[in-house]
Structure 1
């Protein structure tokens, strides 16, 4: 038996992680098509969230189930005791033939965000530069830890009475602190040596639930500066009223924009010092820019393909006639091939 499927503009990329051939997670499959996710590298140094999909055996089985009127996920159909193709899958092969008159297209598409997510790097409204955290008696000592060198930072951890002095030319306001935080976040990881080892042990004693060493064995300097802010907050609390120096949730207190092991980004920091709200993300183009050795900067876009899918079923004639009757009874005129695109049955022979 041979079933011929024609398809046009079938998307060859996926914006979701996981697979349709497995149970759906409680919160659904993760969206990986945002600009932030697309730029993430996996442990092998590759952009694993730019997912390319090709027609596979699972695709073919999904199409066949759709043609007989079964609209369940493939894993759900397979788990059913009356799964029609249970003993036929090994007898099914396919051939995917691209239409050369309508070549594979690379297109920019704009993915519309409807979840209400906010931009991690933007904010709205006027900036409140007169916030007490920037112009109080403790401000220079508090934020000054961000301007310490690494050697000075180690001394700061060792000495409870370490005096932090901020240079007079540094004027404190939200944008200055934001810029300094971003600079520290960009510092490259450093190898562990004696002074750092002592510091890590010291921090483990204060923040036992935090980890300051990466899986590579190196340490990101921003983690040490973040911990220093929390330690300085505690030290200054013995001399000043620090209620305006942090957010409070119950008995816990949080330095603006910082966790105990890192900087959370411009959005989480600036939302405390603006008259507006966090900036909503309306969507983003689906593309990936990467630098490849010998090629330079390469831009990858959404791929759309046109072609013919030939499905061959090496089954008994009686089973083939039964399948033909089921397809005709279901009367499926057109369907998606993958995420989008148009597909339909062009021929059916026994």
Structure 2
């Protein structure tokens, strides 16, 4: 004679989202599962997860004292529930969802801006020769090949600061210039001068007929830097240990890194931020509306096990003997067994 054993679980504050890549139902990668919900990718990488059959099997295993991961238990020869998998069902009710605010910690060690006092006289603009170095940014793009060959000199502008350099690079990035043979020789010179950093493709956009003007100016800065060093200018204070200007590679300008010259304390480690995430859905009437994408829930989970009387008694006694008073359900959810009894499945 079969009976239905009902195990009632009361749970609170179970997150309905997953923030790690991979799955609980497979072995852990060598370096663990990666955090996949940074500030920049939270909207796309935050997956909704609900209670599933695997969740229920994991709960039951935990309740009888099996401490193994579910995938480990299921792959073993002594998985207790292996012969009754099709006899186990579940139902949630009295579910109360709540919109969640999460505090995203800096798990990757990333930085945000600079720290410390503002540097009133940053070496990037005060060291002798820096006016000549930054002046090359103001050359016309069509004049760069002539500057490289020495046919003309770049313009000279005496005063530079973070705002003027930033604005000039914004102008440069907006330039739409067709590639022509006029640039071929100077590009070859740049590649030959910096073979570890550049290839001819570094100077082309995805459309190979378009010139990546930003790379042309960045390379020109380093090319001119070499010329000034040969004239006995000393730029050691400007350069990092890799002999580069922070924020400017041979091909790109990164403003947030370049702006670190403004501060005396270097990079500031990002701590974290309280975050609310919403997603856009099409509501009634075809109108788009934003709904919360992060939720936590409270509720009751009833697990039904339809087995013979002897097996039902055995499961009940195993749960009571293990004396698992509370356990986690999902991410951060707190759960406990409210009761175990024989019941009809409705």
Query: Which bin holds the TM-score, normalised by the shorter protein?
Result: 0.7 to 0.9
1:275 aligns with 2:268: no
Give the paired residue count: 329
What are the within-5 Å matches in structure 2 for residues 58-207 of structure 1?
A: 58-99=54-95, 102=96, 104-113=97-106, 117=109, 119-131=111-123, 133-147=124-138, 151=142, 155=145, 159=149, 163-165=153-155, 167=157, 171-178=159-166, 180=168, 183=170, 187=173, 202=188, 206-207=194-195
**Inter-partner Cα distance in structure 2 for 1:95 and 1:259:** 58
1:329 aligns with 2:334: no
**Inter-partner Cα distance in structure 1 for 2:211 and 2:279:** 26
**Inter-partner Cα distance in structure 2 for 1:261 and 1:80:** 54
Gaps of 5+ in 2: none
1:259 aligns with 2:252: no
1:327 Cα deviation after fit: 1.5
> Partner of 1:8 in structure 2?
12
Cα offsets for 1:15-68 (capped at 9, x unmatched)? 333333333344433334442343xxxxxxxx4223322222332232222212
**Inter-partner Cα distance in structure 1 for 2:45 and 2:332:** 19
**Inter-partner Cα distance in structure 2 for 1:56 and 1:280:** 38
**Inter-partner Cα distance in structure 2 for 1:96 and 1:199:** 71
Asked whether the equivalents of residues 123 and 270 of structure 1 are also in contact (C-alpha less than 8 Å), the reply is no
Structure ID, larger Rg:
2
Asked whether the equivalents of residues 147 and 154 of structure 2 are also in contact (C-alpha less than 8 Å), the reply is no
Gaps of 5+ in 1: 39-46
**Inter-partner Cα distance in structure 1 for 2:44 and 2:164:** 35
Greater fraction helix: 2
RMSD: 4.2
Asked whether the equivalents of residues 145 and 229 of structure 1 are also in contact (C-alpha less than 8 Å), the reply is yes
**Inter-partner Cα distance in structure 1 for 2:185 and 2:306:** 68
What are the within-5 Å matches in structure 2 for residues 15-54 of structure 1?
A: 15-38=19-42, 47-54=43-50
Cα offsets for 1:259-318 (capped at 9, x unmatched)? 34434452x334344223433333201223677787678474531112222333455554
Greater fraction strand: 2
**Inter-partner Cα distance in structure 2 for 1:69 and 1:149:** 74
Change (3 A) 1:329 1:285: same
Q: TM-score, normalised by structure 1?
A: 0.72
Asked whether the equivalents of residues 8 and 343 of structure 1 are also in contact (C-alpha less than 8 Å), the reply is yes
Q: TM-score, normalised by structure 2?
A: 0.73
Asked whether the equivalents of residues 11 and 341 of structure 1 are also in contact (C-alpha less than 8 Å), the reply is yes
**Inter-partner Cα distance in structure 2 for 1:89 and 1:189:** 64
